[in-house]
């Protein structure tokens, strides 16, 4: 699972906002040395008062849960009024290094990249297919078929939603070899009106799988872009 079937053009995981609200940026801080922990950050500026903000999350990959006591968020006034969201993130990361530095986290690289969304035209629930090079042979090919499966209730800022990611492993004839369900399919999120998979990658061992998911948040300020991750340990 360490190579993608086709090479996607590099894109920045920062959504351009053409609407009210704000667009966050995603930061891949990386995997721990054993691949069992994944750390990421996100930052931006609030829409109405342009207050810079930043967040850092530490994830137990196998549990697909945040590590207790290792979610960090900036506070109002942490940086000056003219500071950027990146400034807020840099300060937050520096102030939390004593806690997350023990992981010696390294960002994912091109060798472990499985998928990168390179077009806004790709549907949120459109199937993603890539080849499993590690388990394919000259005579037989194995593919991963990935699809995000969402469910929504209500509209606008009153919407509630949940989703999971269906991962099906197939051979070259389309016969199913295995199926896994990634995520928390019963967990409802208030105000999230859409989800889409931006990126899929593993750690160096190929045992830890990470899905970066872009989500749209609807609230009184408009529609904002946020990021989250779902993880799975083989």
Residue 185 has pLDDT above 70, yes or no: yes
pLDDT value at position 77? 85
Above 90 in pLDDT, residue 21?
Answer: no
Q: What is the pLDDT of residue 106?
A: 96
- The tens digit of pLDDT for each residue in 201-231 reads 999 999 999 999 999 999 888 889 999 999 9
Where do the structural domains in the chain lie, given as residue ranges?
25-233
Q: Looking at residues 123-133, what average pLDDT do you find?
A: 92
Nearest C-alpha neighbor of 195 from the set 213, 182, 222: 213
pLDDT digits (tens, 9 = 90+) for 66-79: 999 999 999 988 99
Q: How far is CA 119 from CA 58, 77, 123, in A?
A: 29, 37, 9
pTM for this predicted structure: 0.88
Q: Which of 58, 55, 91 is nearest to 73 (CA)?
A: 55
* Region for residue 30 given its phi and psi (left: phi exceeds 0; alpha: psi -120 to 50; beta: otherwise): left
């Amino acid at each position: 699972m360490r190579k993608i079937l086709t090479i996607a053009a590099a894109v920045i995981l920062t959504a351009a906002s053409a609407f009210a609200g704000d667009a966050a940026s995603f930061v891949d801080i990386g995997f721990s040395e054993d691949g069992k922990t994944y750390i990421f950050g996100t930052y931006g500026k609030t829409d109405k008062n342009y207050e810079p903000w930043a967040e850092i999350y530490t994830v137990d990959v196998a549990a697909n849960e945040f590590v207790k006591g290792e979610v960090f968020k900036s506070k109002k006034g942490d940086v000056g009024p003219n500071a950027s969201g990146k400034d807020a993130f840099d300060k937050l990361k520096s102030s939390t290094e004593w806690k997350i530095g023990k992981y010696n986290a390294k960002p994912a690289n091109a060798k472990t990249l499985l998928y990168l969304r390179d077009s806004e035209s790709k549907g949120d629930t459109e199937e993603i297919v890539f080849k499993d090079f590690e388990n394919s042979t000259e005579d037989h090919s194995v593919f991963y078929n990935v699809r995000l499966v969402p469910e929504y209730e209500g509209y606008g800022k009153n919407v509630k939603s949940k989703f999971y990611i269906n991962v099906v492993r197939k051979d070259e004839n389309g016969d199913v070899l295995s199926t896994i369900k990634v995520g928390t399919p019963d967990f409802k999120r208030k105000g999230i009106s859409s989800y889409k998979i931006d990126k899929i990658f593993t750690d160096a061992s190929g045992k830890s799988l990470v899905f970066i998911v872009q989500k749209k948040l609807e609230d009184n300020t408009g529609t904002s872009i946020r990021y989250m991750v779902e993880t799975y340990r083989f």
